[in-house]
Amino acid sequence: MQTQTVNIFRARKAAAPASPSGTARRWSVDEVVELFKLPFADLLYHAQQIHREHFDPNAVQLSTLLSVKSGGCSEDCGYCPQSAFHSAGVEDQAMLQLKTVVQAARAAQEKGADRFCMGAAWREPSDAELASVVEMVKAVRDLGMETCATLGMLREEHVAQLRAAGLDYYNHNLDTAPEFYGEIITTRDYQDRLDTLERVRRAGINICSGGIVGMGETLAQRAGLIAQLANLDPYPESVPINNLVKVEGTPLENTPDLDPLDFVRTVAVARITMPKARVRLSAGRQQMSDAVQALCFLAGANSMFYGDQLLTTGNPDIEHDRALLDKLGMYPVAENK
């Protein structure tokens, strides 16, 4: 008991100075493992205290995601049904028309989303593809929504064009710890991901970067992912935590389930190590009970994907999410502005 009390005190003190704009605080993987191993109630209490220092604990930011180009991706990410290496049945779909994207953004806005994320299944965009996305970003911004894009790796000139278009966030996940990464993806390196994030950061675009748990990683590897994210200087403004969706036809389709309480622990540890980040519930919510999602909010999650579909996998329907937020007395950030 004595040791646990000391651990909480140390973790709390250590988390305090970390901030997206403040002095960097480095986390060792061992320190993050120590957080994961706290008694559940202590971990959630600690995460909730930090959460309340920086956010309204009842407000949740809602983002809607649209796949603007699906399938046929030349990367081999083991979890992804859009990879051309797997046979998950996702059709290779051409890029959506601008007007289709704007209609979807407007519909999402009417239903309460304040950020619209556009995703494309590419290793990296060509100049022509990037030019089309730039037009989409401008048009969605004109609706008064925040914009986010996830397009794979980016070259310097593409980052500059997105910045000029007013892109608010760029999503590029680290996916997992460096030590486990090679088990999941072989077509690009961890460093490639870090380099893209660095280019985006230097351009002044907010970073959305997180990972996926439940892919068969060890606890130390799960902690390694969180340490990597928390040690980015500064850490991401937005941190999506995904629970693996096991899609038939992908190499990870038979991965054993992650204990839902370990998912909640991951959210809490992300909150403690990245106090001012929006920690987002992302893929895998459809397979989660309301009770587990409520625990995630208690653990410090304060953002979620909102809409019936993610890129190509399912998501709880909007009516269900509205009812869940009502039951919990929570409300969208936009209603709290």
The residue among 118 and 121 lying less far from ligand SF4, judged by its C-beta, is 121
Interaction between residue 75 and ligand SF4 (CB under 6 A): yes
Whether residue 217 contacts residue 148, with contact meaning beta carbons closer than 8 Å, is answered with no
User: Which residue is it, tokens 């794979």?
Assistant: 152
Paired residues of 119 in beta bridges: 67, 150
Interaction between residue 83 and ligand SF4 (CB under 6 A): yes
Give the number of residues in contact with ligand SF4, rule: CB under 6 A.
Answer: 8
Q: Which amino acid makes up residue 58?
A: N
Minimum Å distance from CB 43 to ligand SF4?
30
Question: Which DSSP state fits 303?
Answer: E
Q: Which amino acid makes up residue 230?
A: A
Interaction between residue 209 and ligand SF4 (CB under 6 A): no
Per-residue binding string, ligand SF4, 99-118, x by CB under 6 A, is --------------------
Range list of β-strands (E), 3-145: 59-69, 115-120
Minimum Å distance from CB 212 to ligand SF4?
9
The residue among 29 and 197 lying less far from ligand SF4, judged by its C-beta, is 197
Q: Which of 144, 127, 122 is nearest to 67 (CA)?
A: 122
The residue among 63 and 83 lying less far from ligand SF4, judged by its C-beta, is 83
The SS3 call for residue 157 is helix
Angle at the Cα of 187 (from 231 to 257), degrees rounded to 5? 70
Part in contact with ligand SF4 (CB under 6 A); list of ranges 79-87, 164-172, 225-233, 284-292: 79-87
Helix runs in 215-330, H state only: 219-230, 260-273, 290-298, 318-328
- Quick one: which of 112, 125, 152, 300 contacts ligand SF4 (CB under 6 A)? 152
The residue among 75 and 321 lying less far from ligand SF4, judged by its C-beta, is 75
- Quick one: which of 11, 50, 73, 301 contacts ligand SF4 (CB under 6 A)? 73
Part in contact with ligand SF4 (CB under 6 A); list of ranges 11-19, 76-84, 162-170, 256-264: 76-84
Half-sphere exposure of 330 toward its Cβ, with a 13 Å CA cutoff? 27
The residue among 240 and 300 lying less far from ligand SF4, judged by its C-beta, is 240
Percent helix, strand, coil in the chain, to 5, is: 45, 15, 40
Interaction between residue 312 and ligand SF4 (CB under 6 A): no
> Which residues would be at the binding site for ligand SF4 (CB under 6 A)?
73, 75, 77, 80, 82-83, 121, 152
